[in-house]
Amino acid sequence: MIHVYSQENGGMWYAVAVEDEKVFATNFSSNEKRTLQSLLKSLPYDAPFQIEEKPSSFSTKLLDSLKAIFDGKNVSLSFETATDHLPAYTKRALDCTSQVPVGYVTTYGAIAKVVGGSPRAVGRAEASNPFPLLVPCHRVVRGDFSLGGYGGSSELGIKIKHEILLREDRGYEKPTTIKVNGKALSLFPVKYLQKGKKQSTIRKESHG
C-alpha cells in the first residue's frame, strides 16, 4: 500500500507518496488540491494508495527535504525512488538529472549526449518526472540557457523554476563536467541563465 502525505510549509503545499521508505512520487504547488491531484497522477497505474492525515517519521524527513530544496539549500539526505514502472529512457534521463549538483544547470542537449536520444526526448522525460525537487528537473534548461518548461510550462511554473535556481546560485563562475555512466555531462553555473534571459529579450525585440 502506498501512503500519501501532504503538508503546508511557508505558503507552499508539499506532498509525497511512499511505501516501505521507498518514494513513489513527490509534488508541490501553492494549492493543496492541485498538489495532491498531480501527485496521484504520477503513481503507478492501479497501485493501491491511502491518503494519511499524520505523516510518518520517514515522510516528515522527505517533506522537510523538499521544502529545503525549494528554498535552495543543500540536502544531504538521499531517498530511494521507485522507478521500475517508468519507461527505460525516462529512468536513464532522470538518473542523469539527479546527479546535477546545487549551483549548476545542465541542458536537455547535454543530457541527450549522455543517455542518447534527442533534446526533445529528454524534455519529454523531464516533463513526466514523478519526483519534482527530489530529482531536480528544474536544473535542466535549454541550450541557449533560457529556462524551458516546468510544471506544465505555465508562466507561474517557469517563474518558480527561475526563483528556485536563483536561490541555488552558489556564485560559481566556470562550467565544469561530471562523469555519468562513463560519459561527460556538461554543467554550467546558474549565472549563465542571465545569458539566456538576454537572448530571449533580443529575440522578442527582433520580432517586435
Question: Do 185 and 104 belong to one domain?
Answer: yes
**CATH assignment at residue 9:** 3.30.160
The set of cell numbers assigned to 129 is 518526472
H or E segment and range at residue 6: strand 2-9
Is it the case that residue 200 has pLDDT exceeding 60?
no
Confidence class for position 196, pLDDT limits 50, 70, 90: low
Question: In terms of domains, do 72 and 102 share one?
Answer: no
Instruction: Please compute the mean of the pLDDT values over residues 78-93 and round it to a whole number.
Output: 97
pLDDT-above-70 percentage for the chain: 91
- The CATH code of the domain that includes 145 is 1.10.10.10
Neighbours of 177 (CB within 10 A): 12
> What is the model's pLDDT at position 207?
36
92/118 same-domain check: yes
pLDDT (tens digit, 9 = 90+) per residue, 137-178? Answer: 999 999 999 998 787 556 678 899 999 999 999 999 999 999
Q: Provide the domain limits for residue 187.
A: 88-206
Share the mean pLDDT of the chain.
Answer: 91
Q: What angle do CA 68, 128, 91 make, to 5 degrees?
A: 90
> Of 81, 96, 123, which residue sits at a domain end?
81
Residues serving a catalytic function are 137
Asked if pLDDT for residue 202 goes beyond 60, the answer is no
Task: In whole angstroms, give the CA distance from residue 28 to residue 168.
Answer: 18
Whether 102 and 69 map to the same domain: the answer is no
Q: Are residues 153 and 59 in the same domain?
A: no
Domain count, the chain: 2
Instruction: Using a pLDDT cut of 90, give the percent of the chain over it.
Output: 86
Facing residues of 107 across strands?
A: 141
Q: Which of 53, 81, 109 is at the close of a domain?
A: 81
pLDDT at 149: 79
